[in-house]
Amino acid sequence: MYKKNLTIIIVTYNVKSLLEELLESIHKSNDKLNKEIFVVDNGNDDTYKLFQNSKKYIYIKNKDNLGFSKANNIAYRRAKGKYILILNPDTRVQKDTIDKMYSFMENNKDIVISTCKLLLPSGDLDPSCKRNFPTIKNSMGKIFHLSKISSKFDGYNISVGEDTQMDIDACSGAFMFIRKDKVEDKKSLFDESFWAMGEDLDLCLRIKESGGRIVYYPETSVLHYKGASGGIKDTSQKYTKADINVKKHWIRAYRDAMKIFYSKHYKKNHNFITNILVNLGIEVDYIIKIIKLRFL
């Protein structure tokens, strides 16, 4: 049925040097899979020079930055793999990562999406690799750091069990190992209403609502510089090439993603006043992030 064991999709923007490191790490992988690698360049720099004489990749050059969802979907529609690995360009896989994740999925047919440890450059676990779905309470706790005041607001990230395999609500779009035949929409993986951010949560919620399992598998890891393309994360400031305008654009995308996700999945379950307050909270968070830009 499938011509390839695995399709790897990498959407890249403004991170050429990190992309080179990622591709090198993939080719040092100890797996023996029949795989294809899509690199979708969202219209930024001269990454074309890395691929013009290479047959190792399927290279797609977009004229403009179409966003994470649309760019991934372009490759997804052409994918021939039994599994899809969504992989950020600011990651680096270990030699055993692809092989272990493939074997894990092959041995657990009821799992639709799996992920592994995402480790930040500091060595700490990136908490976004195992999350609960956002609620109003835990989202406000995350936005306004209320979890530091009370554990009642600490529920968005799963803070326990770094070395424990577990079923989770959602993982990060930086590393998603997906069983393709369990994704209902064959033409679109991500909802293109999301320009960037939020699309991973939306996909996970749709998978869970259809009865699929999402599992955190900590037996291997991936280095994640986190946020290098957009430049709005503290973890990747030394690696990013994003200027102030790019950073503002990504902050707006984050705000818009929260609004789209809330409107799509939660708005109908709450009253008018609650919906107003949630949107106000999102706008306040946006203003705070814009102000903080001067310190990045």
Band of residue 250 on the pLDDT scale cut at 50, 70, 90: very high
pLDDT at position 135, please?
81
Predicted confidence (pLDDT) at residue 129 exceeds the cutoff of 70: yes
pLDDT at position 234, please?
77
Integer Cα distance of 174 and 76 in angstroms: 16
Mean pLDDT lowest among 15-29, 88-102, 129-143, 274-288:
129-143
Predicted confidence (pLDDT) at residue 58 exceeds the cutoff of 80: yes
At 132, give phi and psi (nearest 5°): -90, 160
What average pLDDT does range 23-36 have in this prediction?
A: 96
Band of residue 143 on the pLDDT scale cut at 50, 70, 90: low
Dihedral Cα 63, 69, 71, 73, nearest 10 deg: -140
Helix (H, G, I), strand (E, B) or coil at 95: coil
Residue 107 lies in a domain: yes
Residue 108 sits in a domain whose CATH number is 3.90.550.10
Band of residue 296 on the pLDDT scale cut at 50, 70, 90: low
274 close to 53: Cβ distance less than 8 angstroms: no
What digits encode the pLDDT tens for the residues 178-226? 999 999 777 789 999 999 999 999 999 999 999 999 999 999 999 999 9
Residue 246 lies in a domain: no
Of residues 244, 254, 238, the one with CA closest to residue 291: 244
Q: Which residues pair with 119 in a beta bridge?
A: 125, 223
Predicted confidence (pLDDT) at residue 16 exceeds the cutoff of 80: yes
Q: What's the domain range around 88?
A: 4-230
pLDDT at position 154, please?
65
Mean pLDDT lowest among 25-39, 110-124, 146-160:
146-160
Residue 279 lies in a domain: no
Residue 212 lies in a domain: yes
What average pLDDT does range 254-258 have in this prediction?
A: 95
Q: How many domains does the chain have?
A: 1
What average pLDDT does range 60-85 have in this prediction?
A: 95
Integer Cα distance of 48 and 43 in angstroms: 10
Residue 244 lies in a domain: no
Residue 132 lies in a domain: yes
Higher pLDDT among residues 165 and 281, named by residue: 165
Residue 25 lies in a domain: yes
pLDDT at position 189, please?
95
% of the chain residues with pLDDT over 70:
93
Residue 251 lies in a domain: no
